[in-house]
Amino acid sequence: MKDLFIPELARIESIKIETRDIKTLRFMFQNEETGKIFRFSAGQFIELSVPRVGESTFCIASAPSDTGYIECSIKKVGRVTEAIHMLEVGNKIGIRGPYGNCFPMETLKGKNLIFVGGGIGLAPLRSLIREVLHKRKEFEDLMLIYGARTVSDLVYKDELDEWTKRSDLKTVLTVDPGGQSESWNGKVGFVPVVLRDVSAPRENSVVITCGPPIMIKFVLLTLREMGFNPSQIITTLEMKMKCGVGKCGRCNIGPFYVCKDGPVFTLEQIEGFVEEIF
C-alpha cells in the first residue's frame, strides 16, 4: 500500500456463508488486473473499511500461495461487520495493509506442526495450513485439532471434509458437550481436553493455536502441563487492534503493540503477562 491511512479499493468476488453469523468474502484488487499483486504472509492482517460506517481489523484467511485473491472470514458482531455482511458480490470495499508480523515459516520447516483452533479462530490457521500444504514436503507430521460450540458453528466445512480425508494431515474435530448432532461422528469435548487426550508428539514439534481467549488460555495451560516449552508454542493475539499501525495505543499489552509486534507471538514472549491478555 502507498499510504498507511488510505485504503485501496477491492471488488468482492464471492461470498460464502459459513455459519449463521460468519461469511467468507473473497476480494480482488482492481490493480491486480493490471499486474500489481497484493502480497502478504500467513498470519498478517488487513483493515477493511465500509464508507460512512467505519473500519475494522481482520486476519487474512487465504494463503499467500492462493494467488489472485485474498479471503477474510467475518463474524457479525458489530456495526462494521454488520455492514460488511450486507455487501454483495461486485460491491467495492476499502482495504489497508497487510500489517503485522507473520508465522515463522523458516523456523517451522522440518518440524511436526500441531494446529489447535476454535470457532472463527481457524481463519488465521487456515492461511498457514493451506500454505504448509502447498509446501508439504518441507514439513514433518501435521495435526489439526479444531472445535466449535456446535456442529453448525464449524467453519470451512467443505475444507474440513477434504482435510479429514488426507493421509498426510491428521484432523481431529470436536464440538462442545451438547453441540453434537445425530449424524456427528467427531469427538465431543472442549478443545483443551481433546488436545490432552490426542497423542501429540512433543519432540521436534511446534504448536500453533488461535481461538476464543478462554480457549487459548486453557490450551496454553494444557500444553505446559504436557511438557511443551514456551518456545514451542505460538499463538495469535488479535484482540483490541484498531488502527493497525501502532498509533492509537489500543492494543498495547506489556511491552508490545499487538498490531506492530504481533499479532503472532510465542508463549516465551508473552508468558510474563498471559493473565493480562486472557
H helices then E strands: how many in the chain? 9, 15
Per-residue pLDDT of 96-145, as tens digits, reads 999 999 999 999 999 999 999 999 999 999 999 999 999 999 999 999 99
Question: For the chain, how big is the Rg over CA atoms in Å?
Answer: 18
pLDDT at 1: 46
Kind plus residue range of the DSSP H or E element containing 106: helix 105-108
Please give the model's pTM, rounded to 2 decimal places.
Answer: 0.94
Residue 242, pLDDT score: 82
Class of domain 8-99: mainly beta
pLDDT of residue 35: 46
Q: Give CB contacts under 8 A, 24+ apart, made by 252-255.
A: 253/277
Which uninterrupted H or E stretch holds 259? helix 258-261
Task: Sketch the domain layout of the chain as residue ranges.
Answer: 8-99, 105-236
Q: What local confidence, expressed as pLDDT, does residue 30 receive?
A: 67
Residues in a beta bridge with 27: 12, 70
Residue 34 has what pLDDT?
47
Q: What CATH number does domain 105-236 carry, 3.60.20.10, 3.40.50.80, 3.50.50.60, 3.40.30.10?
A: 3.40.50.80
Backbone phi, psi, residue 136, to 5° = -50, -35
For β-strands 54-59 and 8-17, DSSP reports them as unpaired
Task: Give tens-digit pLDDT for 265-274.
Answer: 999 999 888 7
pLDDT for res 199: 83
Q: Would 8-99 and 105-236 be classified into the same CATH topology?
A: no
Q: What are the cell numbers at 123?
A: 481463519
For each successive 10 residues of the chain (278 residues), what is the average pLDDT? 75 97 93 66 96 94 92 96 97 94 97 98 97 98 98 97 97 97 96 94 95 94 96 88 83 88 94 77
- 64 CB-side CA count, 13 A: 15
116 vs 158: CA distance, rounded Å: 18
Task: Please give the sequence-ordered ranges of beta strands (E in DSSP) within 100-220, or none if there are none.
Answer: 112-118, 142-148, 170-175, 187-188, 205-210
